[in-house]
Amino acid sequence: MGAYADFHRRSITDRDAFWTEEARRIDWHRPFDRVLDYSNPPFAKWFVGGQTNLCHNAIDRHLATRGEQPALVYISTETNTEKSYTYRELHTEVNRFAAIIAAQGVGRGDRVLLYMPMIPEAAFAMLACARLGAVHSVVFGGFASASCATRIDDARPKLLITADAGLRGGRAIHYKPLVDEAIRLAKYPPQKVLVVNRGIDKDFKPVPGRDLDYAELARQHATAQVPVTWLESSEPSYILYTSGTTGKPKGVQRDTGGYAVALASSMEHIYCGKPGETMFTTSDVGWVVGHSYIVYGPLIQGMTTILYEGLPTRPDAGIWWKIVADHKATVMFSSPTAIRVLKKQDPAYMAKYDLSSLRHLFLAGEPLDEPTHRWIHDALKVPVIDHYWQTETGWPILSLAPGIEPARVKYGSPGFPVYGYDLRLLRGPDGAEATDQEKGVLAIAPPLPPGCMTTVWGDDERFVKTYFSDFPGKLLYSTFDWGVRDQEGYTFILGRTDDVINVAGHRIGTREIEEAIQAHSNIAEVAVVGVADPLKGQMPLAFAVVKDASKIDTDASRAQQEKEIMAVVDSQLGAIARPSRVLFVTLLPKTRSGKLLRRSLQALAEGRDPGDLTTIEDPAALEQIRGALKS
């Protein structure tokens, strides 16, 4: 790895020169004065004094050379719709949307919360916010009202944008009633709600004086031209909430200039996407992958990006491959769970399409098992690059970088540290470096590179305490993931060090699920652990102690109680957080100091050795757990 090793080394040892070169990939309204201000560790400010704008870099700067090229292609197998927008048409749509938002008094630094399905208006709204210098916060449409309300109260948006409904597998998910309930629960509700009425919810009812109709306002602002608001590089572009080990989600705050540079750079060096080509990313705009590599990254690079509403198996398991073939996608980005779903289907669905345009498939979001990696690699006959990153970083931490130097794909490994990241593998709290083949915690020596989170929204102290306090006496960012490095420098991810689990690439805090379950009136105590699942990577499993045992004294009553608990989780967090099972016990295994033995619970559930149990206060608790698992 000579060329890449040198490239990476320069990104760490000569940051100013390295990032000055990479920063030429975007437009600056005003050049930056300094590449990096790291005078207040661990807070890093990149491209200080420079003024730029994400929307300008994604749309306006391409109008002269590729105005008639498709920029955004919307494909919905839920409504059997396909619509393409050129860069010029996207510019018109985003200006119109920006005018609508601005008319509600939204400007630079104001927050706008989006609770949207996978429709073009979701991308228009994000880009419109960026154009105005407003801070968008997209909440995944699968979250329940209570989760949405906590995000409203943290971000305190001036405006909320939603739709009447989304669709999944032909089933309508009514967004508007969820939003109405979230606003009812919120302490700091937005003044206005802008609704894209798709005509799906036949019982749709606007709230007079609060709800605005997008179609009506779009007609009023049809030819609006909204000037770009130039932001200083470190001004926030968006907030994206991620689960934590406490019940309160963390608002990951992203800057503007550093993010634009990181995306432009990664599109070239990692994803190898060329202007004029097509990128198909199968994520949702509610997740970080959707922000970085459906909306901003491909457009900054001058590519065509595909926004897909639908399942990977509907109308049949060939739909994604049909999209690749029809649009001659050169770059595809998906998740291991999705590939495991497709692996179960008839291979004829893949074989019938001409996939010769595809150069790479990238997978991320959760650990990729070797059999799945090998299967998709052999089936596609192109490099399938597993890479690793987080909501917090906004772009990859570990990857191969084929745009710099070709490297061998090693099954089960996301590759090497990405340039800009000074990555360490540390044995434990003492911060000693792990040797090859020795397990360690993946950590990053700050400053974090451009594009990474700059702080937790409204809570600098939480940023430092959460991410930079795991190694006493050393200021290091913890990824909370165990890893191991082999002699060739490839890193393998082994799993979390904290209580966040990874369900089909979506991070969920076990604490959040526990708090939701405890909202049930008959729950005295509960422990939730993530258990290995062959399809989704991990699934939550709950062990619950009830207040009134008479309510679970028969199989039927236990089943009823479990059903009720599942419904509580659905209402509090959404179906995405629903445990696979709720097992009832009268004791949970704890140490004498009252600490729950979560690792032991997880090991028992997965049929592994639970480890040292000498600290357990009451050994009978373990027998209860074993009995519940057997039953």
397-419 burial, b at 16+ Cβ within 10 Å, e below that, comes to bbbbbbbbeebebbebbbbbbbb
Which of 231, 219, 189 lies closest to 100, judged by CA?
219
Give residue-wise pLDDT tens across range 504-513. Answer: 777 777 777 8
End residue of a domain, out of 197, 229, 261: 229
CA distance between the termini of the chain: 52
Is 365 part of any domain?
A: no
DSSP 264-315: HHHHHHTS-PPTT-EEEE-S-TTSHHHIIIIIIHHHHTT-EEEEEES-TTSS
Which pairing describes strands 135-138 and 111-115: parallel, antiparallel, or unpaired?
parallel
pLDDT of res. 21: 98
The encoded tokens of residue 243 equal 């689960």
229, 254, 286 — which closes off a domain?
A: 229
Task: Decide: 516 and 564 in contact? Cβ < 8 Å.
Answer: no
Q: Is residue 296 part of a domain?
A: no
> Is the Cβ–Cβ distance between 443 and 467 less than 8 Å?
no
pLDDT per position as a tens digit, 545-571: 888 888 888 988 889 999 999 999 988
| Confidence (pTM) | 0.85
Element containing residue 536 per DSSP (H, E): none
Q: Helix, strand or coil for residue 28?
A: coil
Domain annotation covers residue 131:
yes
> Which of 171, 159, 139 is closest to 573 using CA atoms?
139
Beta-strand ranges (E) seen in 28-107 are 34-40, 43-48, 51-52, 70-76, 81-86
Could you tell me the CA-to-CA distances from 506 to 27, 168, 232, 430, 486 in Å, in that order? 33, 17, 32, 30, 28
Residue 151 lies in a domain: yes
Domain membership flag for residue 430: no
Q: Residues of 153-162 as b/e, b for ≥16 C-beta within 10 angstroms? A: bbbbbbbbbb
Enumerate residues 6+ apart whose C-beta is below 8 A from 311: 77, 168, 169, 319
Closest CA to 576 of 262, 148, 225, 215: 148
Q: Where are the beta strands (DSSP E) in 427-490?
A: 440-445, 455-456, 477-485
Q: Could you tell me if 144 and 515 are in contact, meaning their C-beta atoms sit under 8 angstroms apart?
A: no
Q: Maximum distance among all alpha carbons in the chain?
A: 73
CATH number of the domain encompassing residue 110: 3.40.50.980
Backbone angles phi, psi at 596, to 5 degrees: -70, 135
Whose CA is closest to 461, among 470, 469, 453?
Answer: 469
Which structural domain range is residue 594 located in? 500-630
Question: Distance between CA atoms of 516 and 499, rounded to whole angstroms?
Answer: 15
Extract the residue ranges of the chain whose pLDDT is less than 70: 1, 243-247, 429, 498-499, 591-595, 611-617
Residue by residue, DSSP assigns 204-240 as: ----TTTEEEHHHHHHHTTT-------EETTS--EEE
Q: Look at the chain and count its residues.
A: 631
Instruction: State the amino acid at position 473 in one-letter form.
Output: G
Map tokens 């004791």 to a residue.
Answer: 587
Pairing mode, strands 360-363 and 329-334: parallel
Q: Measured between alpha carbons, how far is 338 from 506 in angstroms, rounded to an integer?
A: 12
Residue 576 lies in a domain: yes
pLDDT at position 629 is 85
Tell me, yes or no, whether 522 lies in a domain: yes
CB 365 within 8 A of CB 289: yes
Total structural domains in the chain? 2
CA-CA-CA-CA torsion for 531, 533, 537, 538, nearest 10 degrees?
Answer: -30
Q: Which amino acid is at 369?
A: D
Q: What is the DSSP string of 164-185?
A: SEEEETTEEEEHHHHHHHHHHH
> How many CB atoms sit inside 10 A of residue 470's CB?
20
- Among the listed residues 605, 455, 593, the one whose alpha carbon sits nearest the alpha carbon of residue 530: 605
Dist. CA 193–CA 181, nearest whole Å: 13
Q: Residue 287 corresponds to which tokens in the numbers above?
A: 């997740």
What is the reported pLDDT for 630? 84
Torsion sign across C-alpha atoms 394, 395, 397, 398: positive
Asked if 226 and 99 touch (Cβ cutoff 8 Å), the reply is yes
CB 564 within 8 A of CB 524: no
* Burial label, 521 (beta-carbon count in 10 A; 0-12, 13-18, 19+): exposed
Question: 591 in a domain, yes or no?
Answer: yes
Q: What is the pLDDT of residue 457?
A: 97
Alpha-carbon gap, residue 28 to 620, rounded angstroms: 66
Query: DSSP readout, 414-430?
Result: -BEEPTT-EEEEE-STT
Residues paired with residue 348 on neighbouring β-strands, in sequence order: none
- Out of 229, 264, 296, a domain closes at 229
Domain CATH for 553: 3.30.300.30
Q: What is the pLDDT of residue 428?
A: 72
